Structure 1
Amino acid sequence: MSGERIWANSAVAGLLLLAALLIFANLDDRYLWDDEAETALLARNVLRFGIPVAWDGASLVSQECGVDYDRNYLWRQTPWLPIYLAAGSFALFDASTFTARLPFALLGLLAVPSMYLLARRVLDDRLTALIAGGSLLLSVPFLLYVRQCRYYALAILAAIWVLYCFFLLPARRRLAAAGLALALTVLLHASHLLFFGAVAGLALGSIVLALDGAVLAWLTAAVVAAVSVNLPWLFAAGLGETTGRLLALGSLRSFAANLAGYAARAELYAFPALLLAAALVAVAIATRSRPDWHSPGARVCIALCAFALGHALVVATVPFVFFRYLITLLPVFALLQAWIVRTLATRSRVLAAAVLALALLPDRADLVRGRFSVTLAKYADEITHHVPGPIEAIVRYLATAARQGDRLFISYGDLPLRFYTGLEVRGGQGCQSLAGWPPPDFVIVRYFFRFRPVAPGVREDTERTLHYLKSEIPQHLYRRVDLPVADTVWENIPEPDRHVFRDGGDRPKITVYEKVRP
């Protein structure tokens, strides 16, 4: 084994150790937020019923006014694979915050060496591959998302192997096509939207690479196989109905606005395209040289840009702009960043190191706001300290104040409370009827009340809920309890523009109205 290979393997081992520290530290400190609790509750129902059902006879799991399950309460809003991963963890270790996130954290850990292998395959250079692996690992959005009891880590890992098999196709067609079909299937069972984004990205990437007919045939076969095998699932999940409902909300103007929104989020939180492009232009001017766009590395990078564009064109059709719909582009961004830094290093190692530091360290969103901070420092502070949140404060209060059989209404945040307490909980966005429900023992109305999903019946349910609170709750029978924690809305949401690292800021406190007991 050569010295270079020993050094590279040692560096990968070091990245893996650092990844374990950054991903697993304080993994269960912050309570599950609503989307995580949805996955965890469905996983718990899998252990009881064998399949993910939204109703267990006492508690309802819904954030979309009931359209997220069928008439038999069978879950169909999101793919089941992440739910079964969480259920497996619960079966082995019991249900808790840590075990809910454990399988996804492990997948996030696997993504780091997988990223190195992808970069070695695509860019054929150990140092560039290490830069790519380090760029992914030190991406704070990557760290935030893989620590979630949600599909994110699974999707990122699947996307890495989709890209690996795609670039392997010209060399080993059958093996790569089989691997691509498998990776696409895993991605589909993580997220339907991200699957179709990847397919669009592969289509544009193959055009840029000008794949020959034989390779293109194997690529097409892999995609067709992945779709065909999973077609019954797609129909059963009501994908056509959901897609039609979402597309009906959009317009050409909203599509363009969404594209701009995704470009801005990528620039601020994941890939400093302006910085990297400026560095390349500066070097080209200083050295009076033109980049060789026909070199293998340049062609790969152009194909990766095409992949990212295809993905963005698909996710921009959905009327909501969330960074989570860009997570499968994090490996693409890491590859592009590594290649550009390595290219700069051929001219000036000092410049390359400076550009890499500027790409990884400053919080560009804070720079836009006129202040300086280091995103990794904020993340390190979070995972080494306790960060209080609204759900934790409520659960801890109920642990001492509530009794078995008590009822609780909360305007938003019902799913985490269903997971952490044994109370009868209603409220949230599931549109569960309150008619005939006795006045609850605890009432929590968040300062923002709740959000409005696009599902039909939401407006009417909001009106019924407000009427119930005003007419059916005898306010004189309740005492007000103010909890000393800021209502940060979501306990541990990973969205970079919504995530609270430590300080909840100047926000309203959580207020609980507790029925006075005789």
Structure 2
Amino acid sequence: MPHITTSAGPIPTAPPCGPATPGFRPNWGLAAVLVLAAFLLFYNLGQRPFWQDEAETACLAKSVLETGLPYAYDGVNVVSQEEEREFDKVGGYLWRWSPWIQIYLQATGFAVGGLNAFAGRAPFALAALLAVFWTYRLVARHFGDRTWALMAATLLTLCVPYLLIGRQARYYAPGTLFVLWTLDAFLSDWQRRAGPIVAMFGGMILLFHANYLLFLSFAPTALAAALFVYPEKFHLRRLSVLAGATVAVAVVPGIMLYRIGRQSGMFDILLVPENLMLYFADLSMFCIPLPISVYLAWRWRRFFTRLERPAEAGERFVLFATVLIVLSLLFLGLVPQRFFRYIAHLLPLCAILLAYLVRRLWDFSKVSAVMLFCLLAFTNWLAVYPMERLKIVNRPWQNDFRMLTSLNFPIKLFVTELVCGYPDVNTSIIDFFKTNAKPGQTIVAEYGDLPLQFALDGVRVVGGLQGPVPADVRPDWVLRRRVVRVNRDRFLFGAREFTDSLDLTRDFERVPLPLPDETFGNRTDDPNHHYFIPVEAPQKALEIWRRKEASQ
């Protein structure tokens, strides 16, 4: 194989594409990966009920099925997690806080499969499956290396954080797919052809309406990364038209529709250093192991000091992906709230990067390449162990040693949960109130109010993060949770204030329940908090109180 000498040393070029052969030639490797991905994404997809954030989307999707638009009030319950900032009551409770694509995707799932968790999550799992295919397609199409493409798709398929967000009824998987779509178009001949630039425009529009924070963290950072790594690809006139059209069609109307300006007041400069530290910890723990980051920084040291770019096309794209990832994290550090889900769309790029390193290592040492691939695909040792040795691991205090923040075989944990199930706290809560609560009764729930709203018909559910509990509320049931929550101003949420004001021992009786009170339930969007195997006793039991006359 021929070699190209760059400032970073000799590297082998990607193997050329073989000559086209007539007729259809099945790609059995890709087919096997997609079948595996489909199993991991769809199997037992409805085994856990919607957790709080998913249930927000689900309640709004029910409104879409009834009215055609996402309204946050159905005549009984109000959908809110931001103390009723998400809508104007005088405007009919029209949802104006987050973009609507995820709502309409979930409504489509409900229309096809009914009002259940599997149907509500299926469109998002399908988007995650398409993203696995698009990861393969992007590499194979633009760099002609099917082995690299197949390894990238395989690493993404076996990436447990990606599987967790792919099984979530939120914007994460569609947003990831739109990012890949846009990058695929960028690598095409958009400077001269109409098709790729139209595809880039469509990708940007869809990305904005999937989640405008995702759009804002991706579009400018991708542009900056391209300017650094691919300056020859710039066509100023076409780029100006693309940017102007995107702003005119998506950004300006979106600012008014989603009232983006109202959320700008959350910015807090004091949070930026901590956010950056935690994002880079998450990147090292779940995306790109620290030793690999150190190696890449050394290999590309002349790019970072002199802007000397690799000559080989594959390595140059991997460098572009790395710069994009770093710039995205720097941008997201400015956002006051920090969640792993904000970087989930970067996971395919991480898989492509890691697969590239394995592919190049294969040309020097096949045994070493196989060992590296197995470490990356089946363990998290390379990610967690260096962080622990350096004492910079970010492990939440409540975690145990069977979670992704400890040395483990992640895919084994994931499959164990799929096959054996998990006693989700929202399942316990929903089953209890389906059996005991009657239509017309009122439940005050300190958290988990939205899963109850979705699951119960004719029962009023208040509390959660909705804000102050209305003065006229006389609850028949009270659900107290072990975690005390405060709002953005560090004051108690209204639900806790309200339950603290009640004389529970006088007016209510506690229902004895041996069910553990976990914090979130199916919070699959954060690998720091996801439980695959139930935690042993002792655990604090769910605290449910029933008004005394309600039990007579």
Q: TM-score, normalised by structure 2?
A: 0.85
Give the match for residue 261 of structure 2. 240
Give the match for residue 294 of structure 1. 311
Give the match for residue 320 of structure 2. 303
Q: Is the 8 A contact 2:174 2:210 kept in 1?
A: yes
Name the CA distance, whole Å, in 2 between partners of 1:260 and 1:466: 32
- What do the CA deviations read for 1:205-227 (whole angstroms, capped 9, x no partner)? 22123433763433343233222
Give the match for residue 127 of structure 1. 147
Give the match for residue 42 of structure 2. 24
Task: Answer yes or no: is 1:353 the counterpart of 2:363.
Answer: no
Q: Is the 8 A contact 1:123 1:339 kept in 2?
A: no
Name the CA distance, whole Å, in 1 between partners of 2:362 and 2:531: 36
Q: Is the 8 A contact 1:169 1:219 kept in 2?
A: no
The one-letter code of the counterpart of 2:467 is C
One of 335, 345, 350 as aligned partner of 2:352 = 335
Name the CA distance, whole Å, in 2 between partners of 1:467 and 1:346: 64
Task: Answer yes or no: is 1:504 the counterpart of 2:524.
Answer: no
CA deviation after TM superposition for structure 1 residue 322, in Å: 0.9
SS of residue in 1 equivalent to 2:369: helix
SS of residue in 2 equivalent to 1:514: strand
Choose 27-36 or 308-317, whichever is displaced more.
308-317
Give the match for residue 248 of structure 2. 228
- What do the CA deviations read for 1:468-487 (whole angstroms, capped 9, x no partner)? 33444453232222433322
The one-letter code of the counterpart of 2:49 is Y
The one-letter code of the counterpart of 1:47 is L
CA deviation after TM superposition for structure 1 residue 256, in Å: 2.8
Name the CA distance, whole Å, in 1 between partners of 2:216 and 2:445: 36
CA deviation after TM superposition for structure 1 residue 508, in Å: 1.6
Task: Answer yes or no: is 1:481 the counterpart of 2:501.
Answer: no
CA deviation after TM superposition for structure 1 residue 7, in Å: 7.5
One of 137, 148, 152 as aligned partner of 1:117 = 137
- What do the CA deviations read for 1:87-129 (whole angstroms, capped 9, x no partner)? 1222222211111111111111111111111112343211001
Q: Is the 8 A contact 1:405 1:424 kept in 2?
A: yes
Choose 269-278 or 189-198, whichever is displaced more.
269-278
One of 466, 469, 472 as aligned partner of 1:430 = 466
Give the match for residue 52 of structure 1. 70
Name the CA distance, whole Å, in 1 between partners of 2:105 and 2:339: 24
Q: Is the 8 A contact 1:292 1:298 kept in 2?
A: no
Name the CA distance, whole Å, in 1 between partners of 2:419 and 2:158: 16
SS of residue in 2 equivalent to 1:425: strand
Task: Answer yes or no: is 1:326 the counterpart of 2:347.
Answer: no
Q: TM-score, normalised by structure 1?
A: 0.90
SS of residue in 2 equivalent to 1:431: coil
Name the CA distance, whole Å, in 1 between partners of 2:192 and 2:145: 20
Give the match for residue 452 of structure 1. 486
SS of residue in 2 equivalent to 1:469: helix
Name the CA distance, whole Å, in 2 between partners of 1:432 and 1:445: 15
Choose 334-343 or 425-434, whichever is displaced more.
425-434
- The 1:61/1:88 distance shift into structure 2, 3 A limit, reads same
Task: Answer yes or no: is 1:188 the counterpart of 2:220.
Answer: no
- What do the CA deviations read for 1:134-161 (whole angstroms, capped 9, x no partner)? 1111111111111111111111111111
The one-letter code of the counterpart of 2:466 is G
- What do the CA deviations read for 1:373-417 (whole angstroms, capped 9, x no partner)? 101100010111120111111111222222222211111110011
SS of residue in 2 equivalent to 1:509: coil
Name the CA distance, whole Å, in 1 between partners of 2:535 and 2:384: 16
Question: Which residues of 2 match residues 94-493 of structure 1 at below 5 A?
Answer: 94-169=114-189, 173-212=193-232, 215-230=235-250, 231-242=252-263, 244-247=264-267, 249-251=268-270, 254-275=271-292, 277-278=294-295, 293-364=310-381, 367=385, 368=388, 372-422=407-457, 423-438=459-474, 440-449=475-484, 451-454=485-488, 459=491, 462=493, 465-466=495-496, 468-493=498-523
CA deviation after TM superposition for structure 1 residue 305, in Å: 1.3
The one-letter code of the counterpart of 1:124 is G
Name the CA distance, whole Å, in 1 between partners of 2:544 and 2:39: 37
CA RMSD of aligned residues (A): 2.6
Q: Is the 8 A contact 1:166 1:180 kept in 2?
A: yes
User: Number of residues paired by the alignment?
Assistant: 500
Aligned-pair identity in percent equals 31
Q: Is the 8 A contact 1:441 1:514 kept in 2?
A: yes
CA deviation after TM superposition for structure 1 residue 45, in Å: 0.8
Q: Is the 8 A contact 1:250 1:318 kept in 2?
A: no
Question: Which residues of 2 match residues 23-42 of structure 1 at below 5 A?
Answer: 23-42=41-60
